[in-house]
Chain A
Amino acid sequence: MNKIEQFSLLLYVFAFAIFAGYQVISKVPQLLHTPLMAFTNAISGISLVASLIIAGEGRSLTSSILGMVAVTAAMINVVGGFLITDRMLKMFRKKDKAKP
């Protein structure tokens, strides 16, 4: 597969992801906008998958160190992001049935 074909496939992925994302995110109520930001923060930690390869590739000491710092930064977002999203979502509750 040449570069142009590869690029066009990735562009398809990009365009469809943007469209699907727009549809899904428009449905998120204002109530949950802060958890939404924490959530997208956590999943943007997916750059971890790129950092892992750089850190484990062993091409040079410099790139291994850069990779390790990148893994650290991405992992902070993954761990911290999911934990804080969970903490927030647990707080949102409906009115108790037991009314005074």
Chain B
Amino acid sequence: MKEGDDSPKPGGNSKRQSKILTLKNQLGLHARAAAALVNVANRFSSDIQMQYNRETANCKSIMGILMLSAPFGAEIEFVAEGEDAVQALKEIEQLIENRFGEPE
């Protein structure tokens, strides 16, 4: 990882990534699922926002995520900006695909 320039360049598209993901776990983004999402997001230096139902929340804030009240089947757009944006979205996608470890 490069140490020098860690601030994302304005308009620097190479570091801004976005992806729409659909919630597959029955209970949607409940407290423990939200906590798991925060844990993953916190491992990255990128700024990660999520958008659902015209509202935005910071992926590193459990309260923000809970307030979105995203249910099963919700389509959420994740936007990551920073050095490790690609990897961050990849791991978030994995978490959601695995239904946060919950049964189908």
A and B are partners in one complex rather than unrelated chains: no
